[in-house]
Amino acid sequence: MPINKTPITCDWSAPGRIRRGERAGKEIKKTKSTAAVNKSRLYKHKNFKWHGIKTERYKPIKGSWADIVRQTLIGNKGETCKFHLRYFEIASGGCSSFERHKHEHVVICVRGKGKVAVGTKSHVMNFMDTLYISPSTPHQLRNPFKSPFGFFCIVNAKRDKPKILND
């Protein structure tokens, strides 16, 4: 089978054109160490749990957050992608910490609904609503509703620590 020497990307470029920073014919080499760890995987979903993914506390230390758990779907098992995909679920009455950080992230509501404070604005997120949080923007996600509020959160794999803000 011939090897495709075109880099795989989600960025569009005109056919035959090379994007800035790329070289023609450059390919990603797999070594024994990355091939053994970085394998393609399918995580089967049932009731907002994914087989092989453990549910963890939102953060390892106590804080101003409440009734929120996290599952890291992509980013904890040797993947070399530049992002992590996590699923968070906030129970009724719960919230994330009120924080800001230099990294950006994307939040996609996939269960129930919730409220999000971003900067000086407040919004209700419903199923499949998508939120982009820009760098250094104060934000907090809350669930004042009766049903669980579940969302995917996509962040850079390399990121700074959040600065917790006063509520």
**Phi and psi at residue 154, to the nearest 5°:** -110, 125
Is 109 a known active-site residue?
no
Give dist(CA 162, CA 82) in Å, integer: 19
Choose, from 81, 95, 109, 153, the residue flagged as catalytic. 153
Q: Are 108 and 141 in contact (CB under 8 A)?
A: no
Q: Are 114 and 149 in contact (CB under 8 A)?
A: yes
Q: Residue 114 burial (CB < 10 Å; 0-12/13-18/19+)?
A: buried
Active site residues: 153
